[in-house]
Structure 1
Amino acid sequence: MIIVTTNTVPGKEIKDLKGLVKGNCVQSKHIGKDILAGLRTIVGGEINEYTEMMKEARQKAIGRMVEEAKERGANAIVAMRLETSAIMQNTCEIIAYGTAVHVE
């Protein structure tokens, strides 16, 4: 699956639009890791537990978007975007979306 943030795929021609595709993931961390992350805010620096949480959520959201595109017969996704929001404390939602297309 070709995934680009641009409206076209360089060197390819869009033959068919398959429509909007999306995938999302709501992710939270284990309470023990939340406590460790809270302690890290005292000393400063990167909070690896949350970095990993966001990475996992992005991968799941993109994977779900790709599956929806495959179900529609697409071989590429153009204009792909990621958005995030907080659902509740220490929980995030990642949404991946774009336009599924068939390119040649």
Structure 2
Amino acid sequence: MLIIFLMHHTGPIISHMSNEIANEALNFICTLLPDHDFYGICVPWIQQLVEVLLKGGSEMFEVPMELRYNFLYNFQMACPSPTMDTPDQLVVQLASAWDIEVI
């Protein structure tokens, strides 16, 4: 709960993390996404991740392919409504940055 509290109160800081810590953060966010209570905390972090990847390229963080797929899958499944534009756009942008085709 302390990590969730820090994530909520610090806001997204993924752009300031080392590759190893960023991967740990992404893995943690991936596990939080299915719980709708934490969805609102995760989205700003995902938005910042997309911004960092679009600016710096997919080489910015060396995210293992399995984590990329799990992350995108959990994010797609967690999106609260198919009519929400922002999460759908984030999924597409993130998949594009990671060279993954989403259906």
Q: Comparing both chains, which one has the higher relative contact order based on Cα–Cα distances under 8 Å and sequence gaps of 6 or more?
A: 1
Q: Which has the higher helix share?
A: 2
Question: What range describes the TM-score normalised by the shorter chain of this pair?
Answer: under 0.3
TM-score (norm 2): 0.25
Higher strand share: 1
Larger radius of gyration: 1
TM (norm. structure 1) is 0.25
